[in-house]
Amino acid sequence: MQQPMSEIHQRVQQLREQVRKASYAYYVLDAPVISDEVYDRLYRELQELETKYPELISPDSPTQRVGEKPVSQFVSVRHNIPLYSLENAFNIEEFATWQERWLRMAPSEPVAYVCELKIDGSALALTYENGILVRGATRGDGIAGEEITQNVKTIRSIPLRLNLENPPPSVEVRGEAFLSLAVFEQINQERSREGEALFANPRNAAAGTLRQLDSRIVAKRRLDFFAYTLHIPGRDDTDVARTQGESLEMLQEMGFRVNPNRKLCRSLEEVGEYYDLWNTERLKLPYMTDGVVVKINSLALQERLGFTQKFPRWAVALKYPAEEAPTRVEAVTVQVGRTGTLTPVAELLPVQLALTTVSRATLHNSDRIAELDLHIGDTVIVRKAGEIIPEVVRVLPELRPANAQRFQMPAHCPECGEPVVREAGEARTACVNASCPAILRGSLIHWASRDALDINGMGEKLVQQMVDRHLVNSVADLYDLTAAGVASLERMGKKSAEKLVAAIGESKKQPWARVLYGLGIRHVGSVNAKILSERFSTVELLSEASPPDISAVYGIGEEISLSVWQWFRVPANQMLIERLRAAGLQLAATVEEPRGKEKKLLFAGKTFVITGTLPTMKRDEAKALIEGAGGKVTGSVSSKTDYLLVGEDAGSKLKKAEELGITLLGEADLLKMLEG
Ligand code: IVH
């Protein structure tokens, strides 16, 4: 029976509201209201209805956050109101000077500031028309920026629709897009695995991410946003809010994430206390702040004071000094990464920086060492860029010991002893021995990583042992491992060994895109692997493709295509592919049947029994899902039962099913099957 369109429309609206509320609770309030499974279920239903009835898609639907096809460049847009930057003060004395200046212009005004944290990210200007997000732009030079609406839409804490009953025709919101330190670290780890240059700090990483031409990559990067300025053009700002404090509250009501760490200060002393407090507190935050922004609270006074050529007169950034400290380089060691890159690392006399002890700092490559003119024994200044990666900023040559030696990049790999190579025009020195243990360790860890073959329990320590004991000499060897062999490793019980071998076996089911990513071809990250696997549906097609064939794929550049082509020209790599094929890995895309049809057939002819209490679903809901996918649900277990869906406190049905050897499923398994 055909469902009336009005009902479908209503259901779509209802789903959107539910998804929006759940996502607001999760991303803005940081207080989830439903489980991930339920969220996924609602989201998927919405997505399916929108696929089936594209005429129902609206720009503010929560499904519009996943990114779109890459663009070739961004369009420049003029800001309706310029984005000013802030004058800096580096201590409370400088702040006092700033305060005296505005007090001379408005001597009878009481002192009242809102102190906010200065988030170290990238400023964004958002435009809402009739409550719907229509434009997002970078700061640019303050007068004009780049239109990056597609990227902005992927930021979950930015509402696609304002939470206002009667939204004004136009609303402008400004704030800071940023990356949490955890995500920043993750991105850098990934880049290091791909052999790409690291971002020096979360600010650069956020700015770089916002300017990504492929919004699908942005969607994966989990940017976040704190709103701090509200403008409603055409209305006197004071109609809306009288103070900056009220503006922040309004932003919060409209659905934005507003930083909770802020304070109304009525004197220089109070500002000083707040500034001192956050100098240490900020190091405990999950994102980076580099100061306190002090803003005059009264919007009327802000208006009266206005702007200089460059800055508002009513706000100032009270910044913290960068965390730097002198220490001595005791030695330089060399690390070998998965792609063979040799990275020199300074071993330092331990020094306190930003609440942690720093004893090592990356020196990046030999060009950087030459630029620093670094000698072993030098006193250097180290900085924790982004409070994360310690870096040597400069050398103090006047403190150099008389006989100090320059560091020389080794001519042989410190791990395997084979000669290293440095290609002309590249800063990178690399080991090219395919059986170098460092490269092998790195390849195995990468192969097992979450976005690749996702092998649970295959951590660094275990990999180290497997390689040291020659249990595994290539990724393909993993598929020959036996539980007895694995159990011979230190601290490895029989149970864990069996589990690991089973997890490795499971990985054979991972799709071709993940296998391709797992191969660890230079410059082929998980997104590129996905794109390539869609265009080249089998490993043969990809390995026979010429560099121009590969770079003809949308989103794939020449550097990537050359790297892929070269990889397949190496005989050892061809052999690896053959062994993976023999082991049963997926080297071709599975043919996708048209959606909907495939869903209906998934459980066709299968009989289910449900028993016990499921974690989130009611039995009727589970039954509806199974039947929707073509399955049948019966009341009792028999030899005709294919699956038993088991919840808590299951009784005799479970026992019987176990006796009959019937496949048992949990709620999560069922959802996974339906999803896959
Ligand atoms: S107010 C005219 N508030 O700092 C007022 N800015 O150095 C302009 N920033 O470009 C900005 N946190 O990107 C303001 N709570 C905050 C901020 C903040 C970070 C950034 C912003 C601005 C830069 C100025």
Task: Please tell me the distance between residue 255's alpha carbon and the centre of ligand 1 in angstroms.
Answer: 20
Residue to probe by mutation, ligand 1, list 122, 124, 172, 176, most atoms within 8 Å of CB? 176
Whole-angstrom Cα distance, residue 336 to residue 190?
15
Whole-angstrom Cα distance, residue 345 to residue 67?
38
> Atom 7 (ligand 1): residue with closest C-alpha?
86
Q: What is the mean pLDDT of residues 244-255?
A: 96
Look at residue 405 and tell me whether its pLDDT is greater than 50: yes
Do the Cβ atoms of 619 and 610 come closer than 8 Å?
yes
3-29 pLDDT, tens per residue? 888 899 999 999 999 999 999 999 998
Look at residue 56 and tell me whether its pLDDT is greater than 50: yes
pLDDT reported for residue 599:
41
Residues with CB under 6 A from ligand 1: 84-86, 116, 118-119, 123, 139, 176, 228, 293, 312, 315, 317
276-327 pLDDT, tens per residue? 999 989 988 999 898 999 999 999 999 999 999 889 999 999 999 877 888 9
The 3-class SS string of 48-78 reads HHHHHCHHHCCCCCHHHHCCCCCCCCCEEEE
Task: Please tell me the distance between residue 86's alpha carbon and the centre of ligand 1 in angstroms.
Answer: 7
Task: Please tell me the distance between residue 650's alpha carbon and the centre of ligand 1 in angstroms.
Answer: 57
Return the minimum-mean-pLDDT range out of 6-15, 241-250, 430-439: 430-439
Better-scored residue on pLDDT, 630 or 320: 320
Task: Return the ∠ at Cα 65 (arms to 64 and 69), rounded to 5°.
Answer: 80
pLDDT reported for residue 534:
87
Whole-angstrom Cα distance, residue 205 to residue 321?
21
Whole-angstrom Cα distance, residue 40 to residue 669?
14
Ligand 1 atom with minimal separation from the 317 CA: 7
Task: Return the ∠ at Cα 209 (arms to 561 and 260), rounded to 5°.
Answer: 160
Task: Please tell me the distance between residue 220's alpha carbon and the centre of ligand 1 in angstroms.
Answer: 25
What long-range pairs does 137-144 form, CB within 8 A, spacing at least 24? 137/77, 137/79, 138/207, 138/210, 138/211, 139/83, 139/85, 140/76, 140/79, 140/83, 142/79, 142/82, 142/83, 142/84, 142/85, 143/78, 143/79, 143/82, 144/76, 144/77, 144/78, 144/79
pLDDT reported for residue 576:
95
Q: What percent of the chain has pLDDT over 70?
A: 95
Return the minimum-mean-pLDDT range out of 121-130, 524-533, 616-625: 616-625
Look at residue 594 and tell me whether its pLDDT is greater than 50: no
Q: What is the mean pLDDT of residues 377-392?
A: 80
Ligand 1 atom with minimal separation from the 259 CA: 15
Q: What percent of the chain has pLDDT over 90?
A: 63
> Atom 12 (ligand 1): residue with closest C-alpha?
118
pLDDT reported for residue 630:
80
Look at residue 262 and tell me whether its pLDDT is greater than 70: yes
Residue to probe by mutation, ligand 1, list 81, 85, 263, most atoms within 8 Å of CB? 85
Which residues are tagged catalytic? 118
As a residue count, the chain comes to 676
Look at residue 503 and tell me whether its pLDDT is greater than 90: yes
Q: What is the DSSP letter of 469?
A: T
Task: Please tell me the distance between residue 26's alpha carbon and the centre of ligand 1 in angstroms.
Answer: 25
134-174 pLDDT, tens per residue? 999 999 989 999 999 999 999 999 999 999 999 999 999 99
The chain-wide mean pLDDT, for the chain, equals 90
> Atom 2 (ligand 1): residue with closest C-alpha?
84
| DSSP per-residue codes, 473-538 | SSGGGGGG--HHHHHTSTT--HHHHHHHHHHHHHGGGS-HHHHHHHTT-TT--HHHHHHHHHHS-B
pLDDT reported for residue 236:
61
Q: What is the mean pLDDT of residues 340-358?
A: 86
Ligand 1 atom with minimal separation from the 307 CA: 2
What residues contact residue 123 under an 8 Å CB cut-off, 6+ apart? Answer: 83, 138, 139, 174, 175, 176, 177
Ligand 1 atom with minimal separation from the 312 CA: 2
Residue to probe by mutation, ligand 1, list 141, 293, 297, most atoms within 8 Å of CB? 293
Ligand 1 atom with minimal separation from the 84 CA: 2
Task: Please tell me the distance between residue 123's alpha carbon and the centre of ligand 1 in angstroms.
Answer: 7
> Atom 6 (ligand 1): residue with closest C-alpha?
118
Q: What is the DSSP letter of 399?
A: G
Look at residue 66 and tell me whether its pLDDT is greater than 90: no
Look at residue 131 and tell me whether its pLDDT is greater than 70: yes
What is the band of 591 on the pLDDT scale with cuts at 50, 70, 90? low
Among 144, 148, 145, residue whose Cα is nearest residue 135? 148
Ligand 1 atom with minimal separation from the 139 CA: 10
Look at residue 401 and tell me whether its pLDDT is greater than 80: yes
pLDDT reported for residue 388:
61
192-235 pLDDT, tens per residue? 666 677 777 788 889 999 998 889 889 988 999 999 999 998 76
pLDDT reported for residue 297:
97
Task: Return the ∠ at Cα 625 (arms to 622 and 630), rounded to 5°.
Answer: 130
Residue to probe by mutation, ligand 1, list 119, 262, 296, 309, most atoms within 8 Å of CB? 119
> Atom 18 (ligand 1): residue with closest C-alpha?
118
pLDDT reported for residue 601:
62
Q: What is the mean pLDDT of residues 250-254?
A: 96
547-582 pLDDT, tens per residue? 999 988 877 888 899 999 999 998 989 999 999 999
Q: Strands (DSSP E) along 233-306, which ranges?
A: 262-265, 289-296
Q: Which tokens go with 376?
A: 């072993």
Q: What is the DSSP letter of 120?
A: S
CB atoms within 10 A of CB 118: 24
Task: Please tell me the distance between residue 572's alpha carbon and the centre of ligand 1 in angstroms.
Answer: 53
Q: What strands, in cross-sheet order, belong to the sheet with 122-129?
A: 75-78, 144-147, 132-138, 122-129, 170-178, 224-231
pLDDT reported for residue 652:
87
Among 363, 31, 65, residue whose Cα is nearest residue 220? 65
- Taking the CA atoms of residue 438, residue 440, residue 445 and residue 449 in that order, the dihedral angle to the nearest 10 degrees is 130
